[in-house]
Amino acid sequence: MTKAELQELWATRIAEYKMSGQSVREWCATHEGISPRQLWYWLQKYNPSSAPCEQPKNNFYRVQKEIKVERIF
């Protein structure tokens, strides 16, 4: 099977899964030979909305805190 054929096969499977309304586990249980791990792999690999995410900005700032020490005797 060529790469293009494999991609087409999984595009069809993913479309069927999405139309089913089932969970990954439920759908895979009714499709012999397809494990949830395989389906998750292909969902992530060929999901059009899985464009690389922006790294969150670091919203932490260094704050210098003054500590006052008093002697108690």
Tens digits of per-residue pLDDT, 19-41?
999 999 999 999 999 999 999 99
**Residue 57 pLDDT grade (very low, low, confident, very high; cuts 50, 70, 90):** low
**Residue 14 pLDDT grade (very low, low, confident, very high; cuts 50, 70, 90):** very high
From residue 22, alpha-carbon distances to 18, 41, 63 in Å are 8, 17, 49
Average pLDDT over residues 54-60: 56
Model pLDDT, residue 70: 74
- Domain boundaries, given as residue ranges, for the chain: 3-45
Model pLDDT, residue 66: 74
